[in-house]
A and B are shown apart, each in its own frame.
Chain A
Amino acid sequence: MPLSTAVDSIKVAADSLKHSGESDSGWILHHVMDARELDFEPLFTLHIPQFPTLFGIDFTPTKHVIFMWITAILILLIFTLVSRKYKKSLIPKGIANFFEVFIVFVRDEIARTTIGKGYERFVPYLLTLFFFILFGNFLGLLPWSATFTSNIGVTASLAICSFFMIQIGGIRQNGFFGYFKGLIPHGIPPVLLILMIPVEILGLFTKPFALCIRLFANMIAGHFVILSLLGLIFFMGTVFVAPGAIVFAVFIYLLEILVALIQAYIFTILTSLFIGMAVHQEH
């Protein structure tokens, strides 16, 4: 009895999708893209209230903005708690112990190894970047939530912040003209200068651009694959595909957890590497 109802319900869903006239893959984009309302699918849909329009920009928060707020509040709460535990004693207990692993990792393995001397002033930014991306990626793996790092606007903003950090760090250390002069390596024939100057200036922009696209594409590809595997059940129209599709989807889901960690680490270490290259410009 349950098996036949399952078979029938999957057939009904697949037929309704085929006959509704919309493309087979529109629903994947609907699940991944930003939306104006929070939908907790079968139960209810929360509509987000309209905010005023200032200077021609509509300030209504969308789903990804709300999840960014949730992540920011979570980080504030957790790390205020962690820092308060350090006031009692230098040896942390409990949650401070857990996060000390990550904080020391970012400070020693990421900042000190790549930036070298003068790394302390960049550690707060790198820590914020690391934990914001990490918490955001993990939050997107929970049911009914959205991954705001799969929004190219968000990753572009993070890349722009890193871009400014890199330039300001380099200009502060080497002086305004000294920084741009230091971009060109020493001892090259002046003929090559016509090629090197545009290449180096373009390189200043392509590196954060690559950071942006890498994080965006990794996050969105993971969700696409999970949704496509589960959508295969409806596309084939039969419930007997379900065990295989679900096993694969769970495997990709576990891979997603690893990718979430790795992408946060890669974004942070590459930003730190570029800061190090800008601050200590000896080629």
Chain B
Amino acid sequence: MDLAWLAAGLGAGLVVIGAGLGIGKLASSAMDASGRQPEAAGAIRTSMIIAAALIEGVAFFGLVICILLAIKA
């Protein structure tokens, strides 16, 4: 019975929820904007990828802590 493993699992799940919600909202706005103005689709796609990578970066902070917990346990 090791609480660190439970914490790692719960943490990883929460990280995924956070990242999924954040990037989902981002992608939805990007789709709306591309639909409204198809000429800007290229620029919107580039900005979307950058923002997605930054949000994923924050998610990976949490993931690294979960991995540390799971390895130390």
Contacts and interface: CB of A to CB of B under 8 A. Distances in A.
Interface of A: 25, 29, 210, 213-214, 216-218, 221, 224, 262-263, 266, 269
Nearest to B64: A217
B54 A266 contact: yes
Given A29-B71, A213-B64, A218 B57 contact: yes
Given A29-B71, A266-B54, A218 B49 contact: no
Contacts of A29: 71
B63 interface: yes
Contact of A266 (B50, B67, B71): B50
Contact of B57 (A25, A213, A224): A213
A217 B50 contact: no
A214 B57 CA distance: 5
B60 A210 contact: no
Interface in B3-56: 49-50, 53-54, 56
A148 B63 CA distance: 20
Q: Is the interface of A mostly helix, strand, loop or mixed?
A: helix
B45 to A, nearest CB: 12
B50 A218 contact: no
Interface residues of B, number: 13
Contacts of A266: 50, 53-54, 57
Contacts of A218: 56-57, 60
Given A25-B70, A263-B53, 8 more contacts: A213-B60, A214-B57, A217-B57, A218-B56, A218-B57, A224-B67, A266-B54, A269-B50
Given A29-B71, A266-B50, A269-B50, A221 B57 contact: no
B63 A217 contact: yes
The 4 A-B residue pairs with the shortest CB-CB distance, nearest first, are: A217-B60, A214-B57, A266-B53, A217-B64
A262 B71 contact: no
A112 to B, nearest CB: 15
Nearest to B54: A266
B2 to A, nearest CB: 12
B53 A221 contact: no
A100 B63 CA distance: 37
10 contacts: A25-B70, A213-B57, A213-B60, A214-B53, A214-B60, A217-B63, A218-B60, A221-B63, A266-B53, A269-B50
Nearest to B61: A213
Contacts of A263: 53
A263 B50 CA distance: 9
